[in-house]
Structure 1
């Protein structure tokens, strides 16, 4: 990714946060695919936003910042591959929830192992104190930037 900044301008903090996120995202996805789960990046970005108890399509689309149609297409693909299922919403029988299946949980387990591996690498690079400070700072920023908390 090429970043164009005016000469003498430091790279923005947002970009500095995006670069390690994208690095992690690519490595996690590669590990998931290598483990036999051929999930695309677009599918993964929707899949990772599913609530543990299931999500309605409109909520999922909003969380993934895609249209309802795009989310529906990606969920259809994930459903055909056996990673998610649609079930009746117990709060509203007319509505459907999208839930992770056992096959989907297998992919999540692979992703979590790789995520932990990467975070351990970062902690070795930064040191325990700086790594803990980074986590605290990012959690504090989440309080004012995450609309889903």
Structure 2
């Protein structure tokens, strides 16, 4: 599972770089966890299983490229949300396109039944082993 995940991860990062987004694999993994309406840094760190300091460095790199921005949290004036900029939304759309391409390739190799079974099994495992549920 890890080898397949890393292969997809590398394809996404390569496509991002080809599209002009100079993201690292760690930045890509963190950014895939940003909620549509924004996420707090502590939540991103927790979900990505990195320290708050690491998440802050990754976000700073994304911010420097204009992919994300920090805005006040309307629910808590003391907190900030990390959210995608229009440029970042374009990057996220491209990443999702690549993920879709890879998933279609895998389905061509496995067939629709095995793909559906694999997806169901991985979803179930994720629910059982997710430390954040």
TM-score range, shorter chain: over 0.9
Q: Supply the distance in 2 between the matched residues of 1:52 and 1:146 (Cα, whole angstroms).
A: 21
Equivalent in the alignment of 2:115: 131
1:83 maps to 2:67: yes
> For 1:1-149, what aligned pairs fall within 5 Å after superposition?
17-149=1-133
CA RMSD of aligned residues (A): 1.1
Q: Supply the distance in 1 between the matched residues of 2:97 and 2:14 (Cα, whole angstroms).
A: 12
Superposed displacement of residue 109, structure 1: 1.1
Q: Supply the distance in 1 between the matched residues of 2:131 and 2:85 (Cα, whole angstroms).
A: 27
Superposed displacement of residue 104, structure 1: 0.5
Q: Supply the distance in 2 between the matched residues of 1:27 and 1:76 (Cα, whole angstroms).
A: 23
Q: Supply the distance in 2 between the matched residues of 1:47 and 1:26 (Cα, whole angstroms).
A: 15
How many equivalent pairs are there? 133
What TM-score, normalized to structure 2? Answer: 0.95
- The structure that has the greater radius of gyration is 1
Superposed displacement of residue 147, structure 1: 3.2
Superposed displacement of residue 144, structure 1: 0.7
Q: Supply the distance in 2 between the matched residues of 1:51 and 1:148 (Cα, whole angstroms).
A: 15
What SS is found at the alignment partner of 1:98?
strand
What SS is found at the alignment partner of 2:81?
strand
- Give the ranges of 4+ consecutive aligned residues of structure 1 lying more than 3 Å apart after TM superposition: none
Bigger relative CO (Cα 8 Å, ≥ 6 apart): 2
Q: Supply the distance in 2 between the matched residues of 1:98 and 1:120 (Cα, whole angstroms).
A: 31
What SS is found at the alignment partner of 1:49?
coil
What SS is found at the alignment partner of 1:99?
strand
Superposed displacement of residue 112, structure 1: 1.0
